[in-house]
Amino acid sequence: MNYRHAFHAGNSADVVKHALLIALVRALQLKPSALTLIDTHAGCGLYDLQGEEAGRTGEAEGGVLRAFADTDPLLDDYRAAVRAVNEGGEPRLYPGSPRILSQLLRPQDGLILNEKHPEDAAILRGAMRGLPAAIHARDAYELWLALLPTRTPRGLVVIDPPYEQTDERARIAATLAAAHRKWAHGVTAIWYPLKDRAAHLRWKQQLKRLGIPKFLTVEHWLYDADQPGLYNGAGLFIVNPPYAFTQELPPLLEALRAALAPDGHRGTLTAEWLNG
């Protein structure tokens, strides 16, 4: 499976991922100490929803356009982040995680972006021109470990791979285990697609065996029953989420579920601790 960002910009997974990232960073910023934000698979940073890649899939119709048609104020922060890269009306451009994270920076915070794909890395540099970010083009998993512990007292690492490689999940599990040994108090968010429920449950069991105490899983299943061969949703694993984030999560998840539910389906968007 290939979830390269440009083809899926602004889809339902992006809406959930970015709404939760905004809430997560804002919860971390309730404390004044500096944050380092690290995006290991940064992509292009900014996407044209009418461009060739996004236009080929049309997934923004079930994602950001649904979120903009909704009126729930709990989605206002997300919509504001998208409007910030558009001049008005319906969104033509969609901000990836790098542009969204850059909007959230305080003077004391830092942003580190990484994109190994040469073409995407070049586009990323253009999309971030004039914005405060250090940009790398390294192996994501090597960089993840190399930058830990962060130089600032606290930090957030975002892992959002395209899942092109057959060993992607194994590399995530191995690197997460090593990262937790180096940086046990750090916050980590790992995005993943939901396509095959059985395979996903096996991966969750593998991650559960890592024994990480504060390990939250947020899962968005779009349909009331699995649709074989189709993209069924996406989720986030979040290590060490701050208390303020977890307290505000239930109403935000319900607002997202209601806004993004496909016609004729209710879907589910839930959060639970992986280790009970």
Residue 55 pLDDT: 63
12-28 vs 97-104: helix axis angle to the nearest 10?
20
pLDDT at 1 > cutoff 50: no
Domains defined along the chain, listed by start: 20-45+108-273 (3.40.50.150)
Which residues, including other chains, have CB under 8 Å from residue 50's CB and lie 6 or more apart?
Answer: 92
Calculate mean pLDDT across residues 215-224: 92
pLDDT at 259 > cutoff 80: yes
Kindly report, residue by residue over 37-51, the tens digit of the pLDDT: 999 999 999 999 987
CA 59, CA 222: separation in Å to the nearest integer?
13
pLDDT at 2 > cutoff 50: no
Residue 230 pLDDT: 56
Calculate mean pLDDT across residues 91-104: 97
14 catalytic, yes or no?
Answer: no
pLDDT category, 54, cuts 50, 70, 90?
low
Catalytic hit among 77, 160, 226, 263 = 160
Kindly report, residue by residue over 16-38, the tens digit of the pLDDT: 999 999 999 999 999 999 999 99
CA 104, CA 254: separation in Å to the nearest integer?
24
Beta bridge mates, 238? 189, 216
CA dihedral sign of residues 9, 10, 13, 14: positive
